[in-house]
Amino acid sequence: MAQEKVVYPQAERQRKLQALTFQENQILSRDLPRDTVLKSLQLRLSGSVVTTFGSGTPVADAQSTFDNIIPRIDVIINGSRTVKSVRPHMMRIQQLFTSGILAERRASAAAAAATDNLPTVDQGFVYGTTTQRTTVAETIVLPFEQVYCALGMGRESTWLNLKGVASAELRLTCASFSSLLGFGNTAPVVYSGSTFIIDIITKEAQDVPPQVVFSDWKQTYKEIGFSAETQDYAIDINRGNSLSGIMLFAKDGAAGSSTTATGKLASNLALTKLSLKVNGQTDIKTTDFKSLQAENRAQFGVLAPMGSNVSLLDGIGYLNLLARNDITTALDVRPPLVDNVQLFVNTNTASNVSYTNPVVVGVMTEEIVLPR
């Protein structure tokens, strides 16, 4: 991929934008400043909610509060140029891979909200006894700079230049509070008195020469369901730009039960063989899912702690298409040489993974979009 590597000035500034208030089943929007070059946005969900249940045993889903009640985050420029369309969980894993640091994720339940809305326990959402208040604090970073690249190797070339654009929007798609329950759990929980807000902090580059033109690091997420064991299923991957990576997140199809959170859990067994091909025959990378997970742990030097036999990295596999942390090595999939890009996947047998409900595979495609 022809992409000039330039090291830009590293001076930064930060701004706190007006916070957004969580609203169930609504789309929240915040205009981004159009006088700057963005390196990243930090989004912090905090606040508390009362949970009331006269019967049943509510147990929260294993993922974070953020991912369950705000399952989609978009950044859209000029109404149609989508730079990001992602799930918070994928951003959390991305931060772990690229920094070795787990993002903030805290929750606690008590008669009253935690002091200054800051729980002390590192965990996802938790239910206390009925009428108790659960306090949450979670942070994710939405980067525009290509964080898998080293400084001077293209990391700076995807900063998001908002100077002169007609519009720049951060959009959060909210789900209902009931999404916090584990799949299959039927506890009749009523949620009330929510104080959840989302704080937004910018990280901005300073003193960028006005003539500099940036690429976009575009990330888009989609899900595919499998109702039975499948061989060589072709997942279409975006073409027309250059691919820097593909992150996968697999969940089983277990039904769970009315009193647990054991349904549709992150699974290391759902996927077996993977093969990324161009034009149906050029084999870019072929591996199996467990080997890919081992490669990720070794390459990024991470080991997510286990708790109750669950790891944050369960179900995650990342196909890294960059060599030497260099943006110029991204896989060029532009026409006319490339007609299609497909990821062929095999899912496991029914004796190893449940298909009571569809096995779901999330696919986040990462592209380097050169300036037009």
Percentage of the chain modeled with pLDDT above 90: 88
Cα separation, 96 vs 229, in Å, equals 31
Beta bridge partners of 137: 46, 106
Q: How far, in whole angstroms, is CA 63 from its chain's centroid?
A: 11
- Summarised one tens digit per residue, pLDDT across range 184-194 is 999 999 999 99
Residue type at 141? Answer: V
Binning pLDDT at 50, 70 and 90, where does residue 104 land? Answer: very high
> In this predicted structure, what is the pLDDT of residue 212?
86
> In this predicted structure, what is the pLDDT of residue 302?
82
Vertex 348 angle, CA 345 and 351, to 5°? 170
Q: Cβ(197)–Cβ(16) under 8 Å?
A: no
Cα separation, 233 vs 36, in Å, equals 43
Dihedrals φ, ψ of 186, to 5°?
Answer: -115, 15
Instruction: Count the Cβ atoms, other than its own, within 10 Å of residue 234.
Output: 13
- Summarised one tens digit per residue, pLDDT across range 271-329 is 999 999 999 989 999 999 999 999 999 999 887 665 556 688 999 999 999 999 999 99
Tokens of 146: 């290509």
Q: Cβ(182)–Cβ(262) under 8 Å?
A: yes
**293 three-class SS:** helix
Cα separation, 154 vs 211, in Å, equals 17
Query: What does the pLDDT average to over 257-273?
Result: 95
Domain tally, the chain? 1
pLDDT at 1 over 50: no
Query: Highest mean pLDDT range out of 63-67, 136-140, 303-307?
Result: 136-140
The residue segments making up the domain with residue 242 are 12-369
> In this predicted structure, what is the pLDDT of residue 45?
98
Cα separation, 227 vs 355, in Å, equals 6
> In this predicted structure, what is the pLDDT of residue 2?
47
Residue 4 lies in a domain: no
Residue 113 lies in a domain: yes
Cα separation, 315 vs 248, in Å, equals 8
- Summarised one tens digit per residue, pLDDT across range 165-207 is 999 999 999 999 999 999 999 999 999 999 999 999 999 999 8
Comparing CA positions, the residue from 54, 60, 27 lying closest to residue 178 is 60
Query: What does the pLDDT average to over 126-134?
Result: 98
Tokens of 301: 């030097």
Mean pLDDT of the chain: 94
Residue 2 lies in a domain: no
pLDDT at 335 over 90: yes
Residue 330 lies in a domain: yes
276: left (phi over 0), alpha (psi -120 to 50) or beta: beta
Residue 349 lies in a domain: yes
> In this predicted structure, what is the pLDDT of residue 63?
85
Task: Residue 272: give its domain's CATH number.
Answer: 2.60.120.20
Task: State the sign of the Cα–Cα–Cα–Cα dihedral 318, 324, 328, 329.
Answer: negative
Residue 5 lies in a domain: no
Could you give the count of Cα atoms lying within 13 Å of 7 in the half-sphere of its Cβ?
A: 5
Contacts (Cβ under 8 Å, ≥6 apart) of 226: 233, 270, 347, 355, 358, 359, 360, 361
Percentage of the chain modeled with pLDDT above 70: 95
Residue 163 lies in a domain: yes
Residue 7 lies in a domain: no
End-to-end CA distance of the chain: 15
